[in-house]
Amino acid sequence: MHLGSAWYPEQWPESRWPRDLELMRETGFTVARITEFAWSRLEPADGVFTLDWVQRVVDLAAQHGVAIVLGTPSAAPPAWLTFAHPEVLPQHEHGHVQGHGARCHYRAGSPVYQSYSNRIAGEMARRFGRHPNVIGWQIDNEYWRMSRDPETTAQFQGWLRRRYGTLDALNAAWSGAYWSQDYFAWDQIEAPNPGANPGLMLAWQQFCSHLYVEFQHGQIQAIRAHAEARQWICHNFHPNDDFDREAIGAELDLVAWDAYIHRTPRFVPGENAHDCDRIRGLKRKNIWIMETQPGTVNWSRLNLHQPQGQMRTMAWQMVGHGADAVLYWQWRSAPGGQEQYHGSVLGQDGEPRPRQVEIARIGADFAKTSALLDGSTPRNQVAILDRWRDRWVLRHQPHHHAFNCVEHAQSYYAPLQRAGVTVDVLDRHLDLMPYRLVIAPHLHLGDDMIAFALHAFVAMGGHVVLGMRSFFKDDENRLAPERQPGPLAELLGGRVRDHYTVEASLSVAGDLGAGRVRSFAEDLETTSPETQVWLRYDPAATAEAGWLANRPAVLHRRVGSGSITYVGAWLDDALADQLIGRVLALARMEGHLRVPVGVEVCARWQGERRILIVVNHTDAAQVVPLPQPMRDHLGDRVSSDQIELAGYGVAVLTTV
């Protein structure tokens, strides 16, 4: 277990570095990430490398017991480079070329930029690839932007040509006959604008991901040529949905992500947990939190500070979801630069800010539990299939302003959490055999492979839940030739007749109880006598939904010892709890613990030993019943048949 932060020693006099490292140790830090934005100080002129200062930082950090992760600096090209080679600069909509003065002003597809980036990465690796205090590498920083310049566009056209072979095939895949959208030459195809053809939009997203795979590959090779195998290579993903992170993660040894409270001003525990699970799902291996906020950020519309205790519960939640390291961004506020208002551990004066005390407590926690948690990892029997590409296409055509994949996925994730059940989140990984229950909240782009995998899973006794809008389209983002759920309709013994947008909400009732659904509602029908209707829309449905009066909203069919359930609507919390309770019972699964509202239980396994991490996300004390007395490794206590957690309290439990 590592705790640490991003550190920018190049922004401060060298005489200050020892004090920084002493303070890091006092805070319980064991690692620092450096250099990911330091290109102008690593190579101040073309081909002139000044790495001695990095050597001194790494050596000094070693003396203080602080391990180093080196970032390659390609997210911040120096001015000498962009002025000598303006062709590396990205071009955004309306032809705007982004110049020097901020960061990320580069084009991932520029061969010139790639060769400069690979060269500096290689130089760094030549110097530090064997340094015992360098434990790993981070490539670039949060891949983020795409350029729409002519060279990238030509690369896109080449990629399409390799993918489709002929323009006829491309025109057929993208329904070129619609609005005369046929192409007659490859160079007529441009990057999509808002409202673009759905096939073009999807292909562009895939191409962008491919471009970053290639960009990253060059740097990985440059590092691997010199670095010892023990030094891992990672990237710190941003949690947004813009790229195919599974494709980008494939060549990395480790994936990390930057966990900021970025969608809402206040922390939503379920969303952060879900993001951690999605990132862990990329390689189905433990992750690093390469950045998180020390209390607050500066870029939100409302930059609230987290309440006291929540940095600690957030850190422990992330450990519970597979994080082996938590690093804060950043160590000390820089006097200049764009992020003066951002949270930091030290103030600009170099003295700890009040929040440092809480972070130091996390350091003490990690020191206490590191040996216990070493080598442990989450292991689950429930998987959520939530793919990047479904999110792209649903964002492109949400059909309802309030339809949002993050929240919709939460409507399945949250009831599992409330039931004390932990999950894996998968993208294209289709080995479903370790699981007993697979839930796909919005598997919008169906294809034969996924249909086959789900079919086989049910035939082997697995339980599948498909949410609304599943199998609506094919993998070219065209309407699927059959009504939903297409290739699984026969297995379900039912199908979708039609779909409706719901302005506010609709009432539904049936075996799962009574409640309301929102945003989008599908009218289902059964085609087999074995298929049960678990919920129906209200017979007295309002005018807007008259089409739905008394129609089925949720179908369920037992298939041998397995089952398939199709949910045609966005259920409210109580109904979602009922649905999840039912399918968990069918899959003969129980939560790790019965937790009160606001308390989360996570589990990591070390062989057959289960370590429970129980996190109280509320400011009030909570009592959690336990199946037997357990040892709390944080509180140094052995519990009775229950454990009391203070407001924002955490317990790390094993059986006695």
Give me the residues that bind ligand GAL (CB under 6 A), please: 141-142, 258, 260, 291, 297, 329, 339, 342
Closer to ligand GAL by Cβ: residue 141 or 411 = 141
What kind and span of H or E run contains 210?
A: helix 198-224
| Short-list 632, 633, 519, CA closest to 567 | 519
Rounded CA gap, 578 and 655, in Å? Answer: 30
| Least separation in angstroms between CB 343 and ligand GAL | 8
Alpha helices in 2-108 (DSSP H): 17-26, 39-42, 52-63, 79-84
Closer to ligand GAL by Cβ: residue 142 or 244 = 142
- The encoded tokens of residue 594 equal 């019965």
| Least separation in angstroms between CB 615 and ligand GAL | 23
| Least separation in angstroms between CB 273 and ligand GAL | 20
| Least separation in angstroms between CB 608 and ligand GAL | 38
| Least separation in angstroms between CB 33 and ligand GAL | 10
Residues 323, 289 contacting (CB under 8 angstroms): yes
Closer to ligand GAL by Cβ: residue 146 or 167 = 146
**Peptide bond preceding 485 in cis form (omega within 30 of 0):** yes
Rounded CA gap, 440 and 450, in Å? Answer: 11
| Least separation in angstroms between CB 340 and ligand GAL | 11
Closer to ligand GAL by Cβ: residue 334 or 634 = 334
Residues 566, 492 contacting (CB under 8 angstroms): yes
Closer to ligand GAL by Cβ: residue 73 or 515 = 73
Rounded CA gap, 416 and 409, in Å? Answer: 11
Closer to ligand GAL by Cβ: residue 337 or 625 = 337
Closer to ligand GAL by Cβ: residue 76 or 583 = 76
| Least separation in angstroms between CB 602 and ligand GAL | 25
| Least separation in angstroms between CB 337 and ligand GAL | 9
Closer to ligand GAL by Cβ: residue 252 or 603 = 252
Say which DSSP state 479 is in: B
Residues 615, 317 contacting (CB under 8 angstroms): yes
Say which DSSP state 353 is in: P
Closer to ligand GAL by Cβ: residue 142 or 572 = 142
- Which residues does 646 contact at the CB level (< 8 Å), separation at least 6? 616, 621
Closer to ligand GAL by Cβ: residue 359 or 569 = 359
- Which residues does 150 contact at the CB level (< 8 Å), separation at least 6? none
Closer to ligand GAL by Cβ: residue 342 or 499 = 342
Query: How far does Cα 611 stand from its chain's mean position?
Result: 24
Number of Cβ atoms within 10 Å of the Cβ of 100? 16
CA quadruple 487, 493, 499, 500: dihedral sign: negative
* Token pair 């409706």 in the structure block, residue: 500
DSSP labels for 372-430? HHTT-B---SEEEE--HHHHHHHHHS-SSTT--HHHHHHHHHHHHHHTT---EEESS--
| Least separation in angstroms between CB 258 and ligand GAL | 5
| Least separation in angstroms between CB 342 and ligand GAL | 5
- The encoded tokens of residue 330 equal 């950043």
Closer to ligand GAL by Cβ: residue 118 or 293 = 293
**What is the bridge-based pairing of β-strands 424-426 and 382-385?**
parallel
| Least separation in angstroms between CB 209 and ligand GAL | 19
Closer to ligand GAL by Cβ: residue 103 or 126 = 103
| Least separation in angstroms between CB 301 and ligand GAL | 14
| Least separation in angstroms between CB 133 and ligand GAL | 23
| Least separation in angstroms between CB 37 and ligand GAL | 7
**What is the bridge-based pairing of β-strands 382-385 and 437-440?**
parallel
Closer to ligand GAL by Cβ: residue 142 or 386 = 142
Q: How far is CA 42 from CA 10, 67, 180, 223, 541, in A?
A: 10, 20, 52, 16, 67
Closer to ligand GAL by Cβ: residue 98 or 470 = 98
* Token pair 């699984």 in the structure block, residue: 488
Q: How far is CA 187 from CA 43, 151, 397, 564, in A?
A: 38, 11, 27, 46
Rounded CA gap, 279 and 257, in Å? Answer: 7
Number of Cβ atoms within 10 Å of the Cβ of 95? 8
Which amino acid does the sequence have at 342? H
| Least separation in angstroms between CB 329 and ligand GAL | 5
Per-residue H/E/C for 571-595: ECHHHHHHHHHHHHHHCCCCCCCCC
* Token pair 């339809």 in the structure block, residue: 403
Rounded CA gap, 4 and 586, in Å? Answer: 44
Residues 219, 125 contacting (CB under 8 angstroms): no
> Roughly how many angstroms between the first and final C-alpha of the chain, as a whole number?
23
